[in-house]
Structure 1
């Protein structure tokens, strides 16, 4: 029997004109403390958190559950203090000095066969490197995570990864935070890239929730379910 794939939640914050960041070397903070805390709670509820290789290199995040009470609650429930940390890189060009590898609990890096030959020596003792063949397909990633017991996967970017999950119809929920600012820079990364999305521009997703969190707005959608 094939493993049960996890429930996939895409999480992103973007400007009103659709950017995840600006074009400067410094990270643009689109959210606010109340929303950062909400994201921390979502991480604590997840079995694994995934970030793409490009975003890992650009932002050097830790991807932790920051609230000690939430970590304690996970441990009390028989779960690891931190969700499994997951990244995806076809090339395998990931620096072993990144904070991602040296904080939190277990880590998995999915890559191609060629990428694994490069990445396994670099990440020896830091992460489980999984070779997926000639291509690092998302379906294979979800199958492997399901076999590891991951039932809820939180995907935190970046735009290329969000695009792939949405274009392949693999996202169960989208949590999109709109920040009250305009970036206006052509070189700034966008929430999604051009792609052939299921149903095209005529298909409307079902809205699950809309609420303010401080000065940002949280929109929750069900990408697989059309609007009534």
Structure 2
């Protein structure tokens, strides 16, 4: 693990494992207390990664919200929020989205080799564009982040990105908040999609922590023996 960051997968899901429903409006899963916990986790990492599909669908800002936490980062000589990272095969992203326009942190876009020139034309003024294989190689992506000083990476989704990191054995920790309701819609996105996971019925993860945040249950699982801090 000495050539890549510590990788933390974070998600909030319904009791039946959905990240959202199929409506046009974003489904609120986290409680206020859990949202505050997530803000603390964001403030403690060096970079946050989401897939391009999540950027298009959810329009995330990925910023540290608490003024106190932002100030603490500044006092440590860091930007107010961690670097933002995304992965895209096509490079087709709108540079006016809040992912690119909010925050004084660096934005990094990892793109397939054949789309790199296009992505640089579209996004070169708002982000660092890195060609990273065809398709994009997650191990190479992590090695590049590590070379840029990223020691701790939070992966925030969506389903495809979670699945790729987990099935390739690139995750050290999962933090899951469980909302107290069901979605019950097979067309809605789940935490992961189908795949061959290193941790199946014959190999169990380590349950490292259980807590309550408002009406949400919080579960933390360790997948490697790497120290979490």
TM-score (norm 2): 0.95
Q: For residues 156 and 47 of structure 1, what CA distance do their matches in structure 2 show?
A: 13
Are positions 1:217 and 2:217 aligned together?
A: yes
Q: What does residue range 168-187 of structure 1 map to in structure 2 within 5 Å?
A: 168-187=168-187
Q: For residues 124 and 92 of structure 1, what CA distance do their matches in structure 2 show?
A: 11
Are positions 1:72 and 2:71 aligned together?
A: yes
SS of 2:201 mapped into structure 1: helix
Cα offsets for 1:22-57 (capped at 9, x unmatched): 000110010111111110110000000000111111
Q: For residues 178 and 60 of structure 1, what CA distance do their matches in structure 2 show?
A: 22
Q: For residues 124 and 195 of structure 1, what CA distance do their matches in structure 2 show?
A: 34
Larger mean CA deviation between 195-204 and 41-50 belongs to 195-204
Alpha-carbon deviation of 1:117?
A: 2.0
Q: For residues 118 and 64 of structure 1, what CA distance do their matches in structure 2 show?
A: 27
Give the paired residue count: 224
Q: For residues 175 and 55 of structure 1, what CA distance do their matches in structure 2 show?
A: 18
Larger mean CA deviation between 80-89 and 213-222 belongs to 80-89
SS of 1:224 mapped into structure 2: coil
Q: Residue 51 of structure 2 contacts residue 161 of structure 2 at CA under 8 Å; is this kept in 1?
A: yes
Alpha-carbon deviation of 1:199?
A: 4.6
What are the ranges of 5 or more consecutive residues in structure 1 without an aligned counterpart?
none
Q: For residues 51 and 106 of structure 1, what CA distance do their matches in structure 2 show?
A: 14
Q: Following superposition, which runs of at least 4 residues in structure 1 exceed 6 angstroms of deviation?
A: none
Q: For residues 75 and 3 of structure 2, what CA distance do their matches in structure 1 show?
A: 25
SS of 1:75 mapped into structure 2: helix
RMSD: 1.3
What are the ranges of 5 or more consecutive residues in structure 2 without an aligned counterpart?
none
SS of 1:202 mapped into structure 2: coil
